[in-house]
Amino acid sequence: MAAYTTRLKQKSPQGVGSAAHTGRIAVCHIASGDLWAGAEAQTASLLRWLAQRDELSLSVILLNEGRLAEKARESGIDVKVIPEAGKGFLQIFREATNYLRGRGIHLLHSHRYKENLLAALLAWRCQIPFVVRSQHGLPEPFGGLRHCKQSLVRVVDGLVARYATDRVISVSSELRGHLTRYIDPRKVVVVQNGLDIDQVRSNLSCEEAKEKLGIPGDYRVIGTAGRLEPIKRLDYFLQAAKLVSGRIGDARFVIAGEGRERPRLEELAHTLGLEKQVLFLGHRSDIYDVLRALDVFVLCSDHEGLPMVLLEALYLGVPVVARSVGGITDVVQDGVNGVLIESGETPALAAACLDLLLDDDRKKRLATAAIASVSEKFTAQRNAAEVAGLYRSLCGIK
């Protein structure tokens, strides 16, 4: 505690009294909160478990009202929403500064590009000693003018990470390799995502879950879930579906999620003659029931950080077929708790799905091992404990 107080005196006079007196670290997370995808689900779980730790005092700044704000409030966390619609960056900065002043914050934890820059500037303006960020994945590629804008954002974000951030949390060892190309490796720490297993459940049987989707209970179902964006390569999924449907006539294919790619994917399904076999479900608030309906869950992305939906499917006992990319290899052991494919070619994906669909004993073995691996290694409680340990280490508290 002495080392912690000394450092606070050097960097943040406003925070010395409360920390030295109570021994609690005051942390404010900064996130967008406009979407509800894997990064937001992970952030919500992290906040829920951090809020239960006695050594921390939490608050959150969100730039949009939404589900993340609701989840944070449910966890008893003080939430400040600064709606970014119609506001410039400087206006958001001023409102955030006014919120933080006098709160004795010791550490800011940001979660996306805009929030990373905001956190760095707020730390400077409000004399907050430490800045941490979570890197949930690699930037997604764009073309045209958007590519130019993205390139500039990445340059600025890289400079902020290098010179104005104390630690960068990487969700996978593979992602850490990318980050250490431009960030001091001593700053980059791997903390794998964790699943809030108390919240992941479905009360339906597999047959009941299928019928809820309008699919006969004895049909075979292959599905995926996530944002419908180019990096997810759902064109592979549909092309593999065409091959699988040629072997199994009653197979059905489920895609849950929304995104820019939906019109193109619906057109591709029509071109492949799959409009009656493929269900585009859109956003689902009952995603665990959707996952329960699957005989095989598929991830065919070009890259992933460490997808929460993968952990959810594994914990629910759904056999998984995934491309061997990004943080997926940190979770899935080929032939042990899932199936990995090295190639992005659709015949390989289709063959892996068919092998599972036609081998019930193998499906059961993989499912049993998958549930055990998530329960042991990838829980939100463990994730929060490691993040809290990082906070303590930065602040000099053992």
Predicted pLDDT at 17: 41
Question: Using CA atoms, how far apart are residues 371 and 352, in angstroms rounded to an integer?
Answer: 20
DSSP letter at 297? E
The count of structural domains within the chain is 2
Chain segment 206-219, per-residue pLDDT in tens? 999 999 999 999 99
Question: Using CA atoms, how far apart are residues 202 and 384, in angstroms rounded to an integer?
Answer: 24
170 and 265 belong to one structural domain: no
Of 104 and 397, the one with more pLDDT: 104
Residues whose CB is less than 8 angstroms from the CB of residue 262 and which lie 6 or more positions away in sequence, other chains included: 228, 280
CA nearest to 115, candidates 26, 12, 191, 29: 29
315 and 174 belong to one structural domain: no
Predicted pLDDT at 15: 41
Position 100 in a domain = yes
With 70 as the cut, is the pLDDT of residue 22 above it? Answer: no
Question: Using CA atoms, how far apart are residues 132 and 116, in angstroms rounded to an integer?
Answer: 9
Position 201 in a domain = no
Instruction: Tell me how crowded residue 313 is: count the other CB atoms within 10 A of its CB.
Output: 31
Total residue length of the chain: 398
pLDDT, the chain, mean = 91
Position 200 in a domain = no
Predicted pLDDT at 146: 65
Secondary structure (3-state) at 148: helix
With 70 as the cut, is the pLDDT of residue 37 above it? Answer: yes
Position 199 in a domain = no
277 and 364 belong to one structural domain: yes
With 70 as the cut, is the pLDDT of residue 372 above it? Answer: yes
pTM for the whole thing?
0.88
Note whether 342 and 359 are within 8 A (CB). Answer: no
Q: Which domain holds residue 55?
A: 2-194+379-395
219 and 180 belong to one structural domain: no
Give the pair of three-digit tokens for residue 163: 């010179």
295 and 389 belong to one structural domain: no
Tokens 């609701």 correspond to what residue? 70
Position 46 in a domain = yes
Dihedral sign, CA of 31, 170, 323, 233? Answer: positive
Question: Using CA atoms, how far apart are residues 298 and 318, in angstroms rounded to an integer?
Answer: 10
Predicted pLDDT at 143: 61
Using only C-alpha atoms, what is the Rg of the chain?
22
Chain segment 250-281, per-residue pLDDT in tens? 999 999 999 999 999 999 999 999 999 999 99
150 and 223 belong to one structural domain: no
CA 319 to chain centre: 20
With 80 as the cut, is the pLDDT of residue 160 above it? Answer: yes
- pLDDT band at residue 35 using 50, 70 and 90 as cut-offs: confident
157 and 210 belong to one structural domain: no
Predicted pLDDT at 38: 82
- pLDDT band at residue 191 using 50, 70 and 90 as cut-offs: very high
223 and 328 belong to one structural domain: yes
Chain segment 105-137, per-residue pLDDT in tens? 999 999 988 999 999 999 999 999 999 999 988
Predicted pLDDT at 315: 97
Dihedral sign, CA of 361, 367, 368, 373? Answer: positive
Average pLDDT on 338-361 reads: 92
With 70 as the cut, is the pLDDT of residue 141 above it? Answer: no
Position 244 in a domain = yes
Average pLDDT on 325-352 reads: 93
CATH of the domain at 71: 3.40.50.2000
CA 85 to chain centre: 24
Of 14 and 288, the one with more pLDDT: 288
Instruction: Tell me how crowded residue 83 is: count the other CB atoms within 10 A of its CB.
Output: 14
Position 76 in a domain = yes
Predicted pLDDT at 277: 97
142 and 279 belong to one structural domain: no
Chain segment 309-320, per-residue pLDDT in tens? 999 999 999 999
Position 101 in a domain = yes
With 50 as the cut, is the pLDDT of residue 285 above it? Answer: yes
14 and 134 belong to one structural domain: yes
Average pLDDT on 142-159 reads: 74
183 and 256 belong to one structural domain: no
Note whether 137 and 58 are within 8 A (CB). Answer: no
370 and 383 belong to one structural domain: no
